[in-house]
Amino acid sequence: MSYLIRKGFADKHLSIDRSLILPEFEKVAIVGESADWAKTTFGLGSLLAASQVLLAGYAAERIKYNLVEEISPHKPKLVEQAWHLLGGYIEEYSGDDLTERDELATEWLKEFYDYVEERLRLHWISVEALAIALLQSKVLPEAKAFGIIEKKIPMLKRFKQLIRSIKHIPMLKRFNQLIRPIH
């Protein structure tokens, strides 16, 4: 999910500038921490991006094994952590009503989960390729993991995403007009 967020394939609730919203991963691993979550940025948007990354493993497991039970904000641990990050974001903006915060965090968690699952399904070939590599190696450096993912995303899809992302840069409006027929 980190790759999809950083490369613009997942953009719900995220700022245009993705450079500051996720910590770099030292490694991608089957077990243990992959990133230093203490390095999330001062921008509150990092709480939303990190929540999506935390939900991705659980979503992949549910897709792989066709699990359909209702998502709970209290299990497993990474889902609970995502719920707490969303709750912190909401609390920052909404005030002191803890019941309201928890209800909204649960609602957002389900919405974010649905989005994460949809993105992973769309890029399932990449998810499976990464899973196979991790089953063999247990741990991969971030660059190698991202390379495995990228090899499975067709070049045309990557090019179209690049075009969509540069549309957000005002000085490139003329360029966007020139390439409009490509979309």
Concatenate the DSSP letters of all residues of 59-113 into one string: HHHHHHTT--SPPBTTBSHHHHHHHHHHHHHHHHHH-S-HHHHHHHHHHHHHHHH
Instruction: Give me the residues paired with residue 140 across strands.
Output: 28
Considering only 31-35, 98-102, 105-109, which range has the smallest mean pLDDT? 31-35
Average pLDDT (10-21) is: 68
pLDDT digits (tens, 9 = 90+) for 51-71: 998 899 999 999 999 999 899
The answer on 173 and 113 residing in a single domain is no
CA distance 90 to 73: 15
As a whole-number percent, the residues of the chain with pLDDT over 70 amount to 73
As a whole-number percent, the residues of the chain with pLDDT over 90 amount to 40
The answer on 172 and 118 residing in a single domain is no
Domain region containing 168: 154-183
The answer on 180 and 99 residing in a single domain is no
The answer on 168 and 102 residing in a single domain is no
- In a 3-state reduction of DSSP, which class is residue 70? coil
Q: What pLDDT, on a 0 to 100 scale, did the predictor assign at position 172?
A: 47
